[in-house]
Amino acid sequence: MPKTKPLIIIAGPCSIESEKQFLTIAKAVKAAGATHIRGGAFKPRTEPTAFQGHGHDVLHLLDKANQLTKLPVVTEILDTEDIEQVAQHTDILQIGTRNMHNTALLKKIAQRTPQKTILLKRGFAATKKELLGAIGYLHHHGHKGQIIVCERGIRTFADGEYSRFTLDVNFIAACKKDPKFHYPIIVDPSHPAGKAELVESLAYAGIAAGADGIIIEVSMSPFIEVAKSDKDQQITPATLKRIIQNANKIHKIANKK
């Protein structure tokens, strides 16, 4: 019987806040079974006065986390001016939900870092056609590296009431069933959940729908109590460990023909 491909598990804090915080969490998520480390340096926040990330000052910590854990790292790029510099410090460039439609950014990333693996998050109001259009921009402008797609929830009338966004598991299933869709698609259960207690269920739902992996926000005491962004949705390394174990079982069942 052909073996099921192992899940991609990208885990770490929403934002890189300090060396101690990031490296402690990086070590803990590796021990829990993560395959990649995440951490935001540049944060796309709704309010201009909210914490915007420590930016260039913490890019070197991505290298440190990589050296410490030997795991590839993932961070978000916001500005075309930073492409080369950020790409030097990360294995995967994340294009966030708010930038899926930013064709200038897509074009410049494709032209300036054509071999880089890209994690492209679906816009929170984007159709499948629009997502494919964004991928099209990357290819058209010379991108040759791998592209990983991420479903991270869409805006619906439920916004804020019991969830931050609605996780569109249907989208994951539809992409996986589309013979012309050749990209790995992973699920982000953290941003639609908005609350730690919902994250585990959403992770399983995404994997059951056929997702090839998970990107998930993890923090731990004492950093979780004072997190500067998305504090309420950070799960602990212990929860991550259980999610990985169960997600692997669900993944096997989901991939049985």
Considering beta carbons, is residue 154 or 207 the nearer one to ligand PEP? Answer: 154
Q: Is 13 in the site for ligand PEP (CB under 6 A)?
A: no
Instruction: Pick the piece of the chain touching ligand PEP (CB under 6 A) from 52-60, 65-73, 94-102, 247-255.
Output: 94-102
Smallest distance from Mn ion to CB 226, Å? 15
The residues near 18 (Cβ < 8 Å, ≥ 6 apart) are none
Residue for token pair 């995404």: 206
Q: Is 10 in the site for ligand PEP (CB under 6 A)?
A: no
Distance separating alpha carbons of residues 87 and 109, to the nearest angstrom:
9
Nearest residue to ligand PEP on Cβ basis: 96
Interacting residues toward Mn ion by CB under 5 A: 14, 230
Residues 167-206: x/- map of binding to ligand PEP (CB under 6 A)? Answer: ---------------------x--x---------------
Pick from 72, 128, 130, 57: which is nearest to 99 by CA?
A: 130
Considering beta carbons, is residue 4 or 205 the nearer one to ligand PEP? Answer: 205
Smallest distance from Mn ion to CB 2, Å? 35
Calculated CA dihedral for residues 174, 178, 182, 185, nearest 10 degrees: 10
Both structure tokens of 203: 């992770």
Among 108, 116, 143, 152, binds ligand PEP (CB under 6 A): 152
Q: Long-range CB contacts (< 8 A, 24+ apart) of 165-173?
A: 165/124, 165/191, 165/192, 165/194, 166/192, 167/192, 167/193, 167/202, 167/205, 167/206, 168/122, 169/205, 169/206, 169/208, 169/209, 170/209, 171/122, 171/128, 172/206, 172/209, 172/210, 172/211, 173/209, 173/210
Smallest distance from ligand PEP to CB 155, Å? 11
Among 36, 54, 121, 228, binds ligand PEP (CB under 6 A): 121
**Which of Mn ion, ligand PEP, none does residue 102 bind to, with CB < 5 to 8 Å depending on kind?**
none
Residues forming the site for ligand PEP (CB under 6 A): 14, 40, 44, 96-98, 121, 152, 188, 191
